[in-house]
């Protein structure tokens, strides 16, 4: 077990990627604090881990609230006595043309995706320093490498999280705290369901996204979770300040693949 007896807080753990991270961390031996805004989502995840023989508790937490984040960390310490790993996964996806983005929209996304990451890190790091060791994994997105139109608040927040990741990594490396970002591509979660539901033509939607992912498919939450396990484990002991892309090759491809087979291009000289 790669995370045996490590205590891990995972935010946004009620569904999708966060749920898979909580479950797979537990299967790797971690004691998990399942944090999410809704008990209807988070409590069943914690209960499922316990019923499978793992150790987990649920704590209701809106990561944009300082009071609730403080209570989350205090509960983790009260229950388990330490915090080895923090996975900042809670986030708000957002798509709207910039002209329609109101200040309240901006604040909602930034407060969850960026402020929440800051608050959870700020309250956990003192405990990690006391222990002499700690590990933070920030779940970001391929939007931290390239952007799409209509995602300004989301992209701004996630790029800022990568900046925060690198700054904290540099500041705390000498004190044995590692901080990394993990950037998923298109993953089979509620976001993917929303994309399909919003498409005028489902087959065209599937074809378009398949052409943009060299692997030819969307990823699974479990694939992101296992990447997080690696970063949280001692196997990654020399990795800090990284932004690891888990995207089926999406960000390595220049443009969408051609819907036809090109003739060979031999690079003939023009001189």
| Domain presence at residue 270 | no
Q: How many CB atoms lie within 10 A of CB 109?
A: 26
The total domain count for the chain is 2
Burial of 254 (0-12, 13-18, 19+ CB in 10 A): exposed
Examine the pLDDT at 64 and tell me if it is beyond 70.
Answer: yes
pLDDT at 258: 74
Q: pLDDT band at 2, cuts 50/70/90?
A: very high
Q: To the nearest whole number, what is the mean pLDDT of the chain?
A: 94
Among 164, 169, 145, 165, residue whose Cα is nearest residue 155 = 145
The structure's pTM equals: 0.94
Q: How far apart are CA 50 and CA 88, in angstroms?
A: 22
Stretch 212-220: mean pLDDT? 94
List the catalytic residues: 154
Q: How far apart are CA 161 and CA 181, in angstroms?
A: 8
| Domain presence at residue 118 | yes
Whether residue 120 contacts residue 9, with contact meaning beta carbons closer than 8 Å, is answered with yes
Whole domain around residue 199: which residue ranges? 188-218
Q: How far apart are CA 101 and CA 83, in angstroms?
A: 37
pLDDT per residue as tens digits for the range 137-150: 999 999 999 988 88
Q: How many CB atoms lie within 10 A of CB 68?
A: 17
CATH assignment at residue 128: 3.40.50.720
Same domain, 164 and 81: yes
pLDDT at 269: 58
| Domain presence at residue 87 | yes
Same domain, 44 and 60: yes
Three-class SS state of 78: helix
Range from 135-139, 152-156, 190-194 carrying the lowest mean pLDDT: 190-194
Residue with tokens 């500041």: 171
- 236: its two tokens: 């990654």
Same domain, 226 and 214: no
pLDDT per residue as tens digits for the range 74-132: 999 999 999 999 999 999 888 889 999 999 999 999 999 999 999 999 999 999 999 99
Same domain, 178 and 211: no
Examine the pLDDT at 268 and tell me if it is beyond 80.
Answer: no
| Domain presence at residue 195 | yes
Same domain, 152 and 197: no
């Amino acid at each position: 077990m790669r995370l045996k007896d490590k205590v891990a807080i995972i935010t946004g753990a009620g569904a999708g990627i966060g749920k898979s991270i909580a479950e797979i961390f537990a299967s790797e031996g971690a004691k998990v604090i399942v944090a999410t805004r809704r008990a209807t989502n988070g409590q069943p995840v914690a209960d499922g881990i316990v019923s499978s023989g793992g150790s987990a508790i649920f704590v209701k937490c809106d990561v944009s609230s300082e009071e609730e984040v403080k209570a989350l960390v205090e509960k983790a310490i009260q229950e388990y006595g330490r915090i080895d790993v923090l996975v900042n996964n809670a986030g708000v996806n957002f798509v709207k043309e910039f002209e329609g983005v109101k200040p309240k929209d901006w604040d909602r996304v930034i407060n969850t995706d960026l402020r929440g990451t800051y608050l959870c890190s700020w309250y956990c790091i003192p405990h990690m320093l006391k222990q002499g060791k700690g590990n933070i994994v920030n779940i970001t997105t391929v939007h931290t490498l390239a952007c799409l139109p209509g995602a300004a608040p989301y992209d701004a927040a996630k790029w800022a999280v990568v900046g925060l990741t690198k700054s904290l990594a540099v500041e705390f490396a000498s004190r044995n705290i590692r901080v990394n970002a993990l950037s998923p591509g298109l993953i089979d979660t509620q976001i993917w369901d929303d994309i399909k539901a919003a498409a005028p033509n489902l087959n065209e939607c599937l074809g378009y996204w398949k052409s943009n992912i060299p692997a030819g498919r969307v990823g699974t939450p479990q694939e992101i979770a296992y990447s997080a396990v690696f970063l949280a484990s001692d196997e990654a002991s020399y990795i800090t300040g990284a932004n690891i892309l888990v995207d089926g090759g999406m960000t390595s491809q220049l443009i969408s693949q051609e819907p036809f087979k090109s003739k060979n291009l031999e690079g003939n000289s023009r001189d």
